[in-house]
Amino acid sequence: MIKPALALVLGLAMGVGSAAAQTVTPDTPAGRALKASLEAFDSLDQAKMAAFIAAWKPPTTADEMLIYARATGGFDLVSIDDARPDRLLYTLKARIGGVVSYGDIVVSGTPPTILAQTVFNLPPGVKPDAPPLDAALRKRVVDGVGADLAEAYIYPAVAQQMTAKLQAQLAAGAYDGIDDGTVLARRLTDDLRGVSHDLHLHVEYRPAKWPPLAKPDAAEIARRTAQMLASNCAFQEVELLPGNIGYIKFNGFADADVCAPTATAAMAFVAHADALILDLRDNTGGDPQMVQFLASYLFDGGPTHLNDLHARKDDATMQYWTLPFVPGTRMPTQPVFVLTSRMTFSGGEEFAYDLQTQKRATLVGETTGGGAHPVDGRVVEDDFLLVVPVAEAINPVTKTSWEGTGVTPDVKTSAADALTTAEGLALKAIAAKGPPSGP
């Protein structure tokens, strides 16, 4: 929890439970699964989440549940929108930020286990439904995914291999009998990743007719902005630890155009610390410009080349350098320690990798998830969305990236012990510098 005094500075907005939470789940296999899922999720307790996973075997991990639970504060169940014994569609409201989301849970077997579960947002005015999934639609989805991969995936040769895999699976009847979109999306994702090993690449099923994807209008921009601000731009905790060690925990890199003032406030709070710990153990990525903005505080005003993103489309490369100006005080000489876990992903990995390769920070914790590819979304057959990597990261020092391998920490320890370890290292670094020089 963020410190009360600092909450006033950063404007943290947190909601509480409401009467909507009294919505009752049906006494069916799917209803009991949803009830158990929400109880584990809302507990914000990793042990309870692990026990839920052991009992119901959903396609997720306790780490993933905990990151999402911390970001949302848990959910209130607003309504049950479609109820079948083995499947539910339902509406949720996040307790942090009040974002309304829809959920889809599917169970099977005796005793029942969770075959698939997703929580998703829909464009304004679009309501969930669950159209039948037949053989013709399954073929159109497979064909559509293949066409989009051929057009957009960053590595064309790998795209061909993935398409061949899906077509072979379709011909062999591997998808026959799958009459639920959530389950089909999961199977397609598993088959795609089995070839590419690309953790950014996935198929989503959202039971609604997607409108064509387009640039957001003013209303959509306003809605997204409100969501970011309500979640405090993913900044969770900022404080001074004993020994004058600054500590910032942030779980994503929100849009810099909206959230730069929040980042500036966090950096201002620790500007005069003698060392800095940046906690990325639950950081799953976001805006490259926010990565650039925050990293710029840790260097002097001279240009430092942080990262490049090379896009397949137009064979274009976007370079990212430290900024010549940032609001407030830079911290170019203080020792910096970055905490990582196996859940640190995408932009969180880039930030850690950029600082590590520039020898500007010591990484403490676990090897990260291994996802370096920026993505684009493409609608496939109304209810299916392909999230496809369209660019690759190229570090100016190593000439490669962390894709598929993750970022290896300088000091390896468990995620749970990373903060304590980093505090000890920070105190030693401060002592080694000696007392500040006076006039």
CA distance linking residue 410 with residue 364, whole number of Å: 6
Partnered with residue 116 across adjacent β-strands are 106
**Helical residues (DSSP H) of 202-297, grouped into ranges:** 218-230, 256-269, 288-296
Query: Quick one: which of 85, 79, 131 has its CA closest to 101?
Result: 79
Which single residue is written with the structure tokens 């990582």?
340
Domain shared by 43 and 144, yes or no? no
CA distance linking residue 230 with residue 402, whole number of Å: 32
Domain shared by 223 and 357, yes or no? yes
Strand order in 375-380's β-sheet?
202-205, 384-389, 375-380
What's the pLDDT score for residue 325? 95
Domain shared by 285 and 196, yes or no? no
What's the pLDDT score for residue 123? 67
Domain shared by 139 and 250, yes or no? no
Contact 391, 311 (CB under 8 A): yes
Q: Is residue 423 part of a domain?
A: yes
CATH of the domain at 71: 3.10.450.50
Which run of H or of E encompasses 276?
strand 275-279
Per-residue pLDDT tens digits for 168-181: 999 999 999 898 88
The last residue of one of the domains, among 120, 151, 171, is 120
Per-residue pLDDT tens digits for 119-158: 887 766 777 776 778 999 999 999 999 999 999 999 999 9
DSSP label at residue 211: P
CATH of the domain at 231: 3.90.226.10
**DSSP per residue over 108-130, as a string?**
ETTTTEEEEEEEE---TT-----
Domain shared by 98 and 201, yes or no? no
Tokens describing residue 384: 């299916």
What's the pLDDT score for residue 15? 29
- With cut-offs at 50, 70 and 90, classify the pLDDT of residue 436: low
- Distances, alpha carbon 258 to alpha carbons 202, 327, 346, 348, in Å: 28, 15, 20, 19
Q: Is the pLDDT of residue 14 over 70?
A: no
What's the pLDDT score for residue 281? 95
Q: Is residue 397 part of a domain?
A: no
Per-residue pLDDT tens digits for 284-302: 999 999 999 999 999 998 8
The last residue of one of the domains, among 56, 86, 120, is 120
Per-residue pLDDT tens digits for 19-78: 344 688 999 999 999 999 999 999 989 899 999 999 999 988 888 888 888 878 889 999
Residue 17 or residue 96, greater confidence? 96
Q: Is the pLDDT of residue 3 over 70?
A: no
Domain shared by 185 and 293, yes or no? no
Q: Is the pLDDT of residue 335 over 50?
A: yes
Domain shared by 106 and 247, yes or no? no
Q: Is residue 196 part of a domain?
A: yes
Tokens describing residue 176: 């026959």
Give the total number of structural domains in the chain.
3
Q: Which of 115-129, 190-204, 236-250, 309-323 bottoms out in mean pLDDT, i.e. has the lowest?
A: 115-129
- Distances, alpha carbon 196 to alpha carbons 116, 353, 377, 390, in Å: 22, 22, 18, 14
Q: Is residue 396 part of a domain?
A: no
Contact 356, 380 (CB under 8 A): no
Per-residue pLDDT tens digits for 415-430: 999 999 999 999 999 9
Which single residue is written with the structure tokens 């201002």?
268
Domain shared by 226 and 366, yes or no? yes
Which domain, by its residues, includes 30?
12-120
Q: Is residue 1 part of a domain?
A: no
Domain shared by 242 and 183, yes or no? no
What's the pLDDT score for residue 227? 77
The last residue of one of the domains, among 205, 239, 257, is 205
Domain shared by 54 and 22, yes or no? yes
**Helical residues (DSSP H) of 44-61, grouped into ranges:** 46-56
Partnered with residue 320 across adjacent β-strands are 307
Domain shared by 176 and 268, yes or no? no
Neighbours of 433 (CB within 10 A): 12
